[in-house]
Structure 1
Amino acid sequence: MRESTRVLVIGGGPAGSTAAGLLVRSGLDVTLLEREIFPRYHIGESILPSCRPIFELLGVWDKLVDYGFRRKAGAYFFWGEEEWEVAFNQLGDDTPNAWQVVRADFDKLLLDHACETGVTVIEGTAVRELEFDGERPCAAHWVSTADPAQRGRIEFDYLVDASGRGGLMATRYLKNRRFHDVFRNVAAWSYWKDVKPLAKGPDGAIAVCSVDRGWFWVIPLHDGTASVGLVTGRDHFNERRNALGDIGEVYQEAMRDCAPVVDLLDGATQVADMKVEQDYSYACDTFAGPGYFLAGDSACFLDPLLSTGVHLATYSGMLAAASIGSIVRGEVGDDEAAAFYGTVYRHAYERLLVLVSTFYESYRGKDYHFYNAQRLAQSDIDHLQLQAAFDRIVTGLADIDDARTAYSRVQQHLTGAESGDPNPLANLNRVHEQKQAPFQPENAVHGLYLTFQPQLGLRRVAIDTGPAPLPGTTVPRKELR
């Protein structure tokens, strides 16, 4: 183990491996500590095509294409009495550009790539404690998970906390994680073999199938199995578990009321034990501060309805790498970068949060308790501060406008519009192409925008000095906004 590093990344999942890989490509010395030994199990198997630009930037896209994951051309929804597809087809041809992945294999591929590009990756090593210089973390105390006698200390200048739902900074030091009043849900899932292929919708699509008190996902995987999961309200889940005495019975009971899932699993065999997660929608009050950035699940996590976990992880990893790279090169200050990162990442998260809530509410009437319960409560809306007085284009205000029209857009689609357009779910899959994204000067956030040339980083908006002043006069400087 080294005694010091320029950047320490805690966690080797998609957020950590993305941030570390991009930082090394910017010429920085990066050490990544991962508690587990990869491959290790993880849920979150359906990937969005919005991740592709980041994978290309990392130089790992071709490896993912060649690996053999199940290609995914979109999604198919059985929602209430309605059915529709979301087709990706961003490339203008029939080439799907997302996958259904076995996360153990997927995450290991990303972490191995980070190592090959120059990141010092040390697995089987847990960070137990951080040291601070004022509010700035400056050193980590680590211990080997295989041999607790092996322990030590590593100093760093910058920290990317990608420690997942455990969230070292948020739960141990900042203590600023807030669970949403809505989305108090439980996910219960298992794996099946000999599942029928979906007879409709895009090739390799995830099937999303609603039931009275929740919904199921069915995800075909390249190893011949399918991930089949139930999402339902926590209170209802606990009530049925107490009545039936077993998690698997709750799962099977809900499945019997879901005709599309019953059909897909006709003749299939469950090949794994049940797994359960609950109360998993939350966000921290702050995502960045002096010398640190919370990436991926350590900062926020969202209901899995739209399969956005890996998208948020890789997106935040890219933003963290851009921010730290520009700080080190002297292009921006620490406070500026932290403000940019926090605003942009929170905007991406809140946009999806509002769309998920609207999606739940729109597709089933108010007579259905589960769907009605997923509406954003006023306390959530107030805490999101979507009415904050800064540029509409980079706040949740634009997203609320989108959400208010989501139902009408989808209804247009269901009555004959072209597949995937104007369905807002298809639009969110192109999040990296949205005009609201801070990739151009006109969409700058706090005077900064993301740039990829000559390298990944943050750039200030240009200053318009106007025409040359007449002798004896002055012209005020004005940012191009």
Structure 2
Amino acid sequence: MKSLPERFDILIVGAGPAGITAAIRLLELGHTVGLIEQAVFPRQQIGESLSPGIRNIFAYLGADELLNDDSYLNHIPARVHWDTEAPAYIGAEQRGPGIIVDRGLLDQQLLAFAQGKGLHVFQPAKLVSSFYDEGVWKLNMKTGPFLRTIYSNVVLDARGRKGSQLHERLETAPASVAIWTQVPAEIMPKESRIEAIGDGWFWGSPVAGNQYRVMAFTDADAVKGKNLSSHFSKMLGKAGLFGPVNGPLEGNGLQTCPVTSFVHTQPWDRQFIKIGEAAFTLDPLSSTGVEKAMRFAMQTAVAVHTLLRYGESVVAQAFYEEKLIESAVNHAHWTAAYYSSSRFSKEHCSFWDKRINFQLNDLKVANEFTQCFHRKFNQQPPVYEAKKPPAIPVNPLMDYLWNKPVRLSPRLVYSNEFAVTGDRVEMKQAVNHPNLEKPVIYLNEIELNPLLSQLPEGITYGGLIENWNQSLAMEDTKKIVTFLWSHAIFISD
């Protein structure tokens, strides 16, 4: 312990996937990074079902080999009873390359991987106090009976839900509770199962250790003052897909935890920055919590690098907050829509009504961040006039357009948007049009605004292609012209 440094560019608290992801990226960007973890690894951790997108993240980090452990479960089919009268079977190939891991093992291996890249780890150690003075955080941590002080320019709080107090949370959905148990794997088929019932829904899946986990999600008010075992058994009795589990529960211990969705009301405070579930939590419906936490951690790492290396504190914080709001709001809207697709959504069941019709009302903590979040949350999702690109080869299209004049659509507008350029966050002008789902800055890694801002008046498509081809490859030029024409951003008289 004495050999570890006392000063860091970034100090991370918590060694879950979000904290380790941020550590790896920041080490790659040349920073000194320390980490405090209270638990001794391996530790028991739920959240073993990882969505397919996790593989791209591990590959980007250079850690994809960690997902190849023989104990992990791949190619698991699913049976879903949600929006139809009869359960639907979804084959493994339809579900994509998701994976069920042993989180205790994976988190331990990911931490060791980061240590191999230069991460300094204090473990087991607990952060007991922090003080901010003239741009530096002074942090006191307890390691066994000893108290040690370390210093850091930035602190990333990755302690999960433990990283926030109830009064610091802005809830983005009604309060829910998860109740779960495990049974021997042979009791159930080797497939994941999801089922909606009147007062909640079930998720079940084989997990590591030759076990099958059954987890019920219900409203927090529904279990207040009730016997959890009795309530869980009653829910199981309504779930047709989990009939084999109901009998063997005798003597099995139940576990429970809150799963309420929220965002932290002040996630970036004087360079003390929340990431992962300390920043925002998601409804477990999509099983993308770990993926979203790791992806957001990578975005935060770029923001922190922009702050430390380039001194762009305003841009860094604004980018971080935009990405946090975007992730949390989009997921909340998706979740409400998926709940409304349930076969119970029209039966006026309390559980479903509360989640379909949830609204953010008065803000208990009103600041610039929460007010922006409130506006975005209550906005209707933008409607765009999707126009499918023509199914014709590019070269015949170029021949057809060659002598036609080209001009920009009057519906085209520009907006300032964040862009990650190399290793930093910058503001760039983006192209906006009703036919575009979102603002576009780059196409084929080529910035569009400089091309469009210098469009000569009266030029033909052929002249434009020859003009752009002086600085761009012909293949890129044709792709950009095709994209702009097919989305009606380029128009002809």
> How far has the Cα of 1:217 moved from its partner?
0.8
Given candidates 9, 31, 47, the residue that maps to 2:12 is 9
Asked whether the equivalents of residues 16 and 162 of structure 1 are also in contact (C-alpha less than 8 Å), the reply is yes
Q: Does 1:357 align with 2:339?
A: no
* Per-residue Cα deviation, 1:112-147 (whole angstroms, up to 9, x for no partner): 21112211122111111111136x561211012xx2
Match of 2:197 among 211, 228, 237: 211
Q: Which residue of 2 aligns with 1:41?
A: 44
SS of match in other structure, 1:324? helix
Cα deviations by residue, 1:411-437 (Å, 9 ceiling, x for unpaired) = xxxxxxxxxxxxxxxxxxxxxxxxxxx
For 1:195 and 1:313, how far apart are their aligned partners in 2?
Answer: 33
Matches within 5 A, 1:17-96: 17-72=20-75, 75-79=78-82, 81-84=85-88, 96=96
Equivalent of 1:228, from 193, 206, 214? 214
2:255 to 275, 279, 286: 275
- How far the C-alpha of 1:272 sits from its partner, in A, is 5.3
Moved more, 150-159 or 286-295: 286-295
Residue type of the alignment partner of 1:254: M
2:394 alignment counterpart: none
Greater gyration radius:
2
**TM-fit CA distance, 1:361:** 2.3
> How many Å apart are 1:8 and its aligned residue?
0.3
User: Partner amino acid for 1:257?
Assistant: K
How far did residue 388 of structure 1 move?
A: 4.9
**3-state DSSP class of the match of 1:323?**
helix
Q: What is the Cα-based RMSD across aligned positions, in Å?
A: 3.4
Q: Distance in 2 between matches of 1:75 and 1:283?
A: 31
Partner SS for 2:253: coil
Distance 1:341 1:129 in 2: 25
Within the candidate set 204, 214, 224, 1:238 is matched to 224
Q: Any conservation in 1 of the 2:233–2:246 contact (CA below 8 Å)?
A: no
Q: State the AA in 1 paired with 2:353.
A: N
Q: Post-superposition shift, 1:164?
A: 0.9
Does residue 378 of the first structure (1) align with residue 359 of the second (2)? Answer: yes
Give the counterpart letter for 1:306 in structure 2: S
Please state how far the C-alpha of 1:385 moved relative to its aligned partner.
5.1
Change (3 A) 1:377 1:89: same
Deviations for 1:435-480, whole angstroms, at most 9, x for unmatched residues?
A: xxxxxxx9x99642235x5xx54344367495599xxxxxxxxxxx
Aligned partner of 1:437 in structure 2 is none
Pair 1:221–1:400, CA change in 2 (3 A): farther
Question: Which letter does structure 2 place at the counterpart of 1:261?
Answer: F
Deviation at 1:271, TM superposition (A): 8.3
> SS at the partner of 1:41?
coil
* Alignment partners' CA distance in 2, 1:119 and 1:302: 28
Structure 2 length normalisation: TM-score?
0.72
What is the deviation of 1:205?
5.0
- Which amino acid in the other structure matches residue 194 of structure 1? A
Give the one of 186, 207, 232 matched to 1:251: 232
Sort the Cα spacing of 1:63 and 1:278 in 2 relative to 1 into closer, same or farther, 3 A: closer
Q: 1:165 aligns with which of 140, 161, 179?
A: 161
Aligned residue type for 2:302: A
How many percent identity over aligned positions? 22
- Per the alignment, residue 458 of structure 1 pairs with 425
Letter in structure 2 aligned against 1:19: A
Query: Mind listing any 5+ residue stretches in structure 2 that lack a counterpart?
Result: 364-369, 385-411, 429-446, 457-488
Determine if contact 1:12/1:34 at 8 Å carries over to the other structure.
yes
What is the deviation of 1:191? 1.2
Contact 1:195–1:267 (CA<8 Å) still a contact in 2? no
TM superposition shift of 1:341: 1.1
Q: 2:287 maps to which residue?
A: 307
* Preserved contact between residue 174 and residue 358 of structure 2 (Cα < 8 Å): no
Q: Tell me the residue number matched to 2:303.
A: 323
Normalising by structure 1, report the TM-score. 0.74
Which residue matches 2:182?
Answer: 191
Q: Distance in 2 between matches of 1:207 and 1:279?
A: 19
Between 1:248-257 and 1:80-89, the stretch displaced more is: 80-89
**2: CA distance, partners of 1:84 / 1:6:** 51
Report the Cα offset of residue 367 of structure 1. 2.3
Aligned to 1:143: 142
Amino acid in structure 2 at the alignment position of 1:143: K
Alignment-derived partner of residue 295 in structure 1: 275
Residue in 1 that maps onto 2:465 = none
Equivalent pairs counted in the alignment come to: 398
How many Å separate the matches in 2 of 1:250 and 1:124? 37
